[in-house]
């Protein structure tokens, strides 16, 4: 007889199972950010997981590569659909589709899963959650300044304190002016220069210089094609970066850039001046937002001001080694995305963060206290014939705002208490025949019991502690709430 097929239990590479603690942490972060967006007058929007592939732009498939960069499939009408790779491209499609009916600026926020058909690696997943806020139809630096201030408030709402984060701000037109002066402003070379500068923090000036010229070979032997600038051109770009990185206030840096700006760079300097005035009026300090012309962002669709949010505190793993997170949030102006559909420029600016990465950093820093669930109480099934009563007790606990369950599995009281311990329950409620006769229940404080067991070596002393106490049946919920408050 043929053996029945048994598939191997395994996950596809780059896709993660998320535990309860991770989910709660991510929900807490999204809730905090959403509350900020609502206060600032942004409206929620939800777009579908699938978009037509030709609407995505960045990873646009062709007939030979219908699944390049995205997860795509062919609909029954032979059109290619793809899972969205971010939340900005669907927003551009939505804005173009409903352009005449939208009140502009159209201010929306959205959070949800995105998918990327890329090679997975440490910290790089094929499915993750993003959270965005955008203004479509908002021209001028004022809207960009609002996004930067919004990002700062989200950081604070997430639990970060002064000095624990910084938002680095630039305007891409500054470097465009430098490239124009070199006669090197064509799109291909421009993007290679921008991507080279985007690696400054990782590769240093020497690595960037190689990428501005012929190219660079990394430690693995892989070669990255350079921008092809000659030595004089590369020195000009590097000189601009070195001068721009000199310390100073936002106003001082703007003034310094104004003396060196050329061509379209002058518009960038003017934008930074207005952004500084608005940030100052909104109370965004010099330590929270700084001007840093080395920030360019890797994506090709940005057209003006750009910014990145960096953690200034370093979370650590349990062994004390540092966690590396890089930028935890970013954004900027993109005036050409909607134009792919409408044929005319539509100004837009936005802010986005990867929820999983940011939540992991905040959890490691102990900044997501709100992610802790309400205490869990397990009602022990001491007498299987009285399950209805145990369910009623659990319902009373839930009505009081606690998490509670009546035990429905198999096992004696010892096994049930072990189950409660493994679930991380705070309390176990026991009502056996003797307790019922006295009109009371026994409440076992499992957290306190675990702490005492770890701290004490004298068994008699441990027995004297009140990790278990009696309470009236009609007042046991109040007793547990009181114990929770004391904790």
What is each CA distance from 166 to 155, 238, 329, in whole angstroms? Answer: 9, 23, 11
Pairing, β 80-83 against β 72-74: antiparallel
H helices within 52-160, ranges in order?
88-97, 141-157
Q: What are residue 379's DSSP bridge partners? A: 406, 429
Question: Which of 370, 391, 411 is a domain's end point?
Answer: 370
Q: Read off the CATH number of the domain in which 459 is found.
A: 3.40.50.800
Last residue of a domain, one of 311, 340, 370: 370
Q: How far apart are CA 238 and CA 188, in angstroms?
A: 19
- The predicted-structure confidence for 383-430, as pLDDT tens digits, reads as follows 999 999 999 999 999 999 999 999 999 999 999 999 999 999 999 999
Average pLDDT over residues 33-57: 94
Is residue 144 scored above 70 in pLDDT? yes
Same domain, 312 and 409: no
| Higher-pLDDT residue of 106, 238 | 106
Residue 73 lies in a domain: yes
Q: Which long-range contacts (CB under 8 A, 24 or more apart) does 124-127 make?
A: 124/14, 125/14, 125/15, 125/16, 125/356, 126/12, 126/13, 126/14, 126/15, 126/71, 127/14, 127/15, 127/16
Highest mean pLDDT among 99-113, 161-175, 195-209: 99-113
232 within some domain:
no
Decide if 133 is inside a domain. yes
Cβ contacts of residue 135 below 8 Å, gap of 6+?
105, 106, 107, 143, 146, 147, 348, 349, 350
Q: 311 with 202: CB under 8 angstroms?
A: no
pLDDT band at 218 (very low <50, low <70, confident <90, very high): confident
Please identify, among 336, 370, 404, the residue that sits at the C-terminal boundary of a domain: 370
pLDDT value at residue 199: 77
Buried b (16+ CB within 10 A) or exposed e, 124-148: ebbbbbbbbbbbbbbbebebbbbbb
438 and 383, same structural domain? yes
Q: What is the mean pLDDT of residues 457-481?
A: 77
Q: Is the pLDDT of residue 18 over 50?
A: yes
Asked whether residue 134 carries a pLDDT value surpassing 90, the answer given is yes
Examine the pLDDT at 96 and tell me if it is beyond 90: yes
Query: Hey, which of 116-125, 158-167, 204-213 has the most confident mean pLDDT?
Result: 158-167
Task: Say whether the peptide bond before residue 105 is cis (omega within 30 degrees of 0).
Answer: yes
This prediction has a pTM of 0.81
**8 A C-beta contact, residue 257 and residue 293:** yes
Task: Tell whether the model's pLDDT for residue 378 goes beyond 50.
Answer: yes
Sign of CA dihedral 166, 159, 320, 126: negative
pLDDT at 321: 80
Residue 197 lies inside a defined structural domain of this protein: no
Task: Please indicate, yes or no, whether residues 49 and 164 belong to a single structural domain of this protein.
Answer: yes
Residue 7 falls inside a structural domain: no
Q: What's the pLDDT at 448?
A: 81
Over residues 340-366, mean pLDDT: 89
Please check whether residue 200 lies inside any domain of the structure: no
Q: Are residues 333 and 398 in the same domain?
A: no
Instruction: Report the pLDDT averaged over residues 273-291.
Output: 96
pLDDT over threshold 70, residue 350: yes
Q: pLDDT tier at 437 (50, 70, 90 boundaries)?
A: very high
How sure is the predictor about 295, in pLDDT bands with cuts at 50, 70 and 90? Answer: confident
- In this structure, the answer to whether residues 428 and 349 fall within a common structural domain is no
Mean pLDDT of 244-255: 84
pLDDT exceeds cutoff 90 at 60: no
Mean pLDDT across 243-254? 82
Looking at residue 69, what is its pLDDT? Answer: 84
Q: Which domain holds residue 458?
A: 374-486
- Secondary structure (DSSP) of 118-131: S--BTTB-SEEEEE
Quick one: pLDDT at residue 298? 57
Contacts of 358 (CB under 8 A, 6+ apart): 29, 158, 328, 329
Highest mean pLDDT among 9-18, 260-269, 365-374: 9-18
Instruction: Name which of 474, 398, 450, 470 is nearest 406 in CA terms.
Output: 398
Residues 133 and 112 placed together within one structural domain of the fold: yes
Please state, in angstroms and rounded to a whole number, the distance separating the CA atoms of residues 195 and 174.
15
CA contacts within 13 A on the Cβ side of 325: 29
Do residues 292 and 310 touch, judged by C-beta distance below 8 A? no
Quick one: 39 and 132 in the same domain? yes
Per-residue pLDDT at 126 = 92
155 and 270: one domain?
A: yes
Instruction: Give me the mean pLDDT over the 199-204 stretch.
Output: 76
Chain mean pLDDT for the chain: 86
Query: What's the rounded mean pLDDT across residues 101-117?
Result: 95
Residue at 2 is within a domain = no
Q: Structure tokens of 183?
A: 């006669």
485 CA to centre of own chain:
32
Q: Is position 25 within any domain?
A: yes
Strand locations in 374-467 (E)? 376-379, 403-406, 427-430, 440-445
CA distance linking residue 207 with residue 200, whole number of Å: 8
pLDDT at 120: 82
Any idea which of 314-328, 403-417, 459-473 has the lowest mean pLDDT?
A: 459-473
Kindly indicate the confidence band of residue 464, based on its pLDDT and cuts at 50, 70 and 90: very low
Number of compact structural domains in the chain: 2
CATH number of the domain residue 31 falls in: 3.30.930.10
pLDDT of 461 higher than 60: no
Show the tokens assigned to 428: 């176990």
**Lateral strand order in the sheet of 50-52:** 50-52, 80-83, 72-74
Domain match, 409 and 474 both: yes
Are 161 and 260 in the same domain?
yes
364 and 403 in a single domain? The answer is: no
Residues 333, 472: one domain?
no
Residue 310's H or E segment, with its range, is strand 305-311
């Amino acid at each position: 007889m043929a053996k029945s097929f048994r598939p191997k239990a395994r996950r596809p590479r780059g896709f993660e199972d998320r535990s309860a603690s991770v989910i709660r942490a991510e929900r807490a972060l999204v809730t905090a950010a959403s509350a900020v967006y609502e206060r600032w007058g942004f409206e929620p929007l939800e777009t579908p997981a699938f978009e037509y592939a030709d609407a995505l732009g960045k990873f646009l498939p062709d007939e030979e590569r219908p699944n390049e960069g995205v997860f795509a499939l062919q609909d029954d009408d032979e059109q290619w659909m793809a899972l969205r790779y971010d939340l900005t491209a669907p927003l551009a499609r939505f804005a173009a589709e409903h352009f005449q009916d939208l009140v502009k600026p159209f201010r929306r926020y959205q959070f949800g899963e995105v998918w990327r058909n890329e090679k997975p690696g440490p910290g790089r997943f094929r499915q993750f959650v993003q959270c965005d806020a955008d203004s479509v139809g908002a021209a001028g630096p004022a809207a960009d300044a609002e996004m930067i201030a919004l990002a700062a408030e989200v950081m604070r709402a997430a639990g970060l304190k002064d000095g624990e984060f910084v938002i680095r701000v630039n305007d891409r037109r500054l470097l465009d002016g430098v490239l124009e002066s070199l006669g090197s402003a064509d799109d291909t070379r421009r993007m290679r220069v921008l991507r080279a500068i985007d690696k400054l923090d990782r590769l240093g000036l020497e690595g960037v210089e190689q990428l501005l010229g012929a190219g660079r070979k990394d430690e693995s032997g892989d070669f990255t094609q350079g921008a092809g600038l000659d030595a004089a051109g590369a020195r000009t770009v590097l000189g601009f970066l070195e001068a721009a990185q000199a310390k100073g206030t936002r106003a001082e840096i703007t003034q310094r850039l104004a003396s060196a700006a050329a061509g379209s760079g002058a518009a960038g300097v003017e934008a930074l001046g207005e952004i500084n005035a608005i940030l100052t009026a909104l109370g965004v300090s010099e330590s929270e937002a700084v001007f840093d012309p080395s920030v360019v962002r890797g994506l090709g669709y940005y057209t003006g001001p750009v910014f990145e949010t960096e953690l200034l505190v370093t979370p650590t793993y349990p062994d004390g080694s540092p966690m590396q997170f890089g930028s935890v949030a970013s954004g900027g102006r993109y005036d050409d995305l909607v134009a792919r559909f409408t044929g005319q420029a539509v100004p837009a600016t936005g802010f986005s963060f990867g929820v999983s990465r940011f939540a992991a950093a905040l959890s490691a820093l102990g900044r997501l206290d709100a992610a802790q669930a309400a205490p869990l109480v397990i009602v022990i099934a001491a007498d299987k014939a009285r399950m209805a009563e145990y369910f009623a007790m659990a319902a009373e606990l839930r009505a009081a705002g606690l998490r509670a369950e009546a035990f429905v599995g198999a096992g004696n009281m010892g096994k049930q208490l072990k189950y409660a311990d493994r679930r991380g329950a705070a309390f176990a409620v026991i009502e056996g025949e003797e307790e019922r006769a006295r009109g009371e229940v026994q409440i076992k404080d499992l957290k306190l019991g675990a702490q005492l067991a770890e701290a004490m070596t004298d068994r008699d002393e441990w027995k004297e502690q009140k990790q278990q106490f009696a309470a009236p049946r009609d007042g046991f919920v109040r007793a547990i709430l009181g114990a929770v408050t004391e904790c």
